[in-house]
Structure 1
Amino acid sequence: MPLLHLLVLALVQGITEFLPISSSAHLILVPAVTGWPDQGPVMDLAMHVGTLVAVLVYFRRDTVGLTWAVLAAVRVPAARRAVAGTPYAGLLAALLVATVPVVAAGGLLAALDLVDLLRRPDVIAAASIGFGLLLYGVDMRAPRQRRMSHMGRRPALLIGLAQVLALIPGTSRAGITMTAARALGFRRPDAARFSMLLAIPTILAGGALAAADLAAEGAAGRWRDALIGAGLAFAFALAAIHFLMRWLQRASMTIFVVYRVALGLALLALIGAGVL
C-alpha cells in the first residue's frame, strides 16, 4: 500500500477512534470517496491496535493498575497485595462485563455473514445523524454527578449492551458508550475515560484476529503496511485523546454532534447525486 494511503488512513483512524464520530465509518468512506481500493478489515484492525497502544500510554496509571488486577485474578501473590485497597479489581470486572455483549454480537454477525451488509453509505449516514442527535439529547439533559468510582457491574453491562450498536458503522463505539454513560449520570470526563478503557479488551480481541489473518497469509508486505499504519495511528490517536479529555473538562459534546449531522447530510447528498 502506498505511504500516502497509509498516512491518510492512519490520520483518519487515529483522530476518529476516540472522538464520538465513528472511526469505522470514516475508514469505509476513505476508499469510497477517493477511489482507492478498500484497505480491508485486516488493515482496519491493525490501525485499531495502534490506537489501543495510545490508550495504554495515555492512561498508563490505569494500565498498570488493571495489569495488577489481571495478575491478582490469576492469584499472583505480589499482585494481590498491589491491588488491595485500589479500585482496579472492580474496574477490571466492569470492563469485562461490558465487553461480553459486543464480542457475542460481533461473532453472531460474522457467522451470519452480515458484516458487509452494514458497510453501506446510506447506513453510515443514517447512523451518523441518528446516534449523533441521540448523543446531543442525552448529553444536554443527563445529570453530571457520577464518577468512575460509581462504575459497578450493572452500569457497565448497560454500557456494554449499548456498545453492540457500534457494530453498525456510523454509530461510533466511543459515541454510543459515552451516550450510555451520560444517560446513567456519569460526568463527561468519566464517561470518556471508561469508553477509552473499554476499547482495550475490545480491540485486543480484534487485534488478535488480525494478527492471525496476517500470519496465515504469510505476506511480509502486509506486515510492513500493518506496522507502519499502526505506528502512525498511535501518534494521531495520542493527540486526539489529549484533545478530547481536555475539551470535556470544559465543554459539551455539541461540536461532535454538529460534525456528525453534517457528515451524514453530506453522505446523503453524495448518494443522491450518484457519487456513492
Structure 2
Amino acid sequence: MDWLQVVVLALIQGLTEFLPISSSAHLILVPVLTTWEDQGLAFDVALHLGSLSAVVIYFRHEIWHMVTSSLAALRGKGVNEDARLAMWVVIATFPVCIVGFLLHDVIAGYMRSTLIIAATLIGFGLLLGYADWKNKGTRSEYQMSLKDVLIIGGAQVLALIPGTSRSGITITAALLVGMSRESAARFSFLLSIPVIVLAGGLEAVGLIKQPHAFDLTAMLAGTLLSGLSAYLCIHYFLVFIKKLGMQPFVVYRVLFGAWLLWFFHF
C-alpha cells in the first residue's frame, strides 16, 4: 500500500463511520476512482480499531459510569440512570446482531449495487431531513423508554442495507421519538461501540482463518489517522448540529445519491 491509499482509506473510515452520510456509499468510489488493490482484512481491522478507540476515548467518562453502575446493579445496589443507559445500548444492539447474522450472505451478495446505495442515500436522507425538521424534542438519552430503545434498535437493522448509514438511521429514529439532536447523536455514537466491536471481530476471525503478511507500519498509521479523524469528527459534529441541525447532511446525501445514479446508470 502506498501512503496516499493509507491516508484516504483511514479518513473515509474515520469520518464516515460517524457522520450520517454512509461509509459504504463512499467506499465504493475508491476502486472506481483509483487503481489501488484491495487493502486486505488486516488493514480493515486496523481502521475499525482506530474508530473504536476514538469513540471509547471521547465517551470514556460516560462509559466508565455505565460500566461501574451496571456492576453495582448486578450486586443488588439498584439501577440508576447510567446502568439503565448501558442496558438500553445492549438491548438496541440485539436486533442488528440477529438480522446481520441471519442475512449476512444476502446483504453481501445482492444488496451492494450502486442503484440500491443511491436510493438509500436519497430516501433515508430525506427521512432524516423530515425527522430533523419536525423535531422539537428535548429528551436526553437518559430519558428514553423501552419503546424508544426498541424503535431505535429496530431502525439500526436498516443500516445493514448499504447506503443507509448506521449513524444516520439511528439519529433519525431517535429524533422521531422525541430526543434532542445532541442526545440522538450521543446515543447513536454509544451504539456504535458494540457494532464496531462485532464488525471488527468478524474481520479479525477472517484474518485468523486466512493469515498472510501485512504492512505493520501502514496498519499503525491507518489506526492512528482513523482514530484521530473519528475523534475530531465526533467532537465537531456535536457542535455543528447544535447550530445548523441535520439539513446540510441531507442536502449532501441527496446530491451524492443523484450523482451516483447519473455516474453509474445514465
- Please report the TM-score for the alignment, with normalisation by the length of structure 1: 0.88
Which structure 2 residues correspond to residues 215-230 of structure 1 after superposition, within 5 A?
A: 215-221=208-214, 225-230=218-223
The verdict on how the C-alpha distance between 1:72 and 1:228 changes in structure 2, with shifts beyond 3 A counting, is farther
Q: RMSD of aligned C-alpha atoms?
A: 2.1
Structure 2 residue aligned with 1:157, among 150, 155, 160?
Answer: 150
**Within 2, Cα distance between the matches of 1:41 and 1:214?**
6
Range with bigger deviation, 201-210 or 33-42: 33-42
Which structure 2 residues correspond to residues 80-159 of structure 1 after superposition, within 5 A?
A: 86-110=80-104, 112-159=105-152
Task: Confirm or deny that 1:196 pairs with 2:189.
Answer: yes
Q: Partner amino acid for 1:147?
A: S
Structure 2 residue aligned with 1:170, among 155, 163, 166?
Answer: 163
Structure 2 residue aligned with 1:264, among 242, 245, 257?
Answer: 257
Q: How far apart are residue 103 of structure 1 and its match?
A: 0.5
> Structure 2: any 5+ residue segments left out of the alignment?
none
Q: How far apart are residue 50 of structure 1 and its match?
A: 1.3
The verdict on how the C-alpha distance between 1:42 and 1:262 changes in structure 2, with shifts beyond 3 A counting, is farther
**Within 1, Cα distance between the matches of 2:17 and 2:235?**
13
The verdict on how the C-alpha distance between 1:228 and 1:70 changes in structure 2, with shifts beyond 3 A counting, is farther
Q: Partner amino acid for 2:136?
A: P
> Deviations for 1:237-259, whole angstroms, at most 9, x for unmatched residues?
11111110111222210000111
Structure 1 residue aligned with 2:175, among 165, 178, 182?
Answer: 182
**Within 1, Cα distance between the matches of 2:98 and 2:41?**
18
Q: Aligned residues, how many?
A: 266
Q: Which position in structure 2 is the counterpart of 1:56? A: 56
**Within 2, Cα distance between the matches of 1:140 and 1:40?**
41
SS in structure 2 opposite 1:115? helix
Q: How far apart are residue 47 of structure 1 and its match?
A: 1.8
Conserved in 2, the CA contact under 8 Å of 1:20 and 1:172?
yes
- Please report the TM-score for the alignment, with normalisation by the length of structure 2: 0.92
Conserved in 2, the CA contact under 8 Å of 1:138 and 1:179?
yes
- Between the two proteins, what is the percent identity of the paired residues? 45
Q: How far apart are residue 119 of structure 1 and its match?
A: 1.6
Q: Which position in structure 1 is the counterpart of 2:2? A: 2
> Structure 1: any 5+ residue segments left out of the alignment?
none
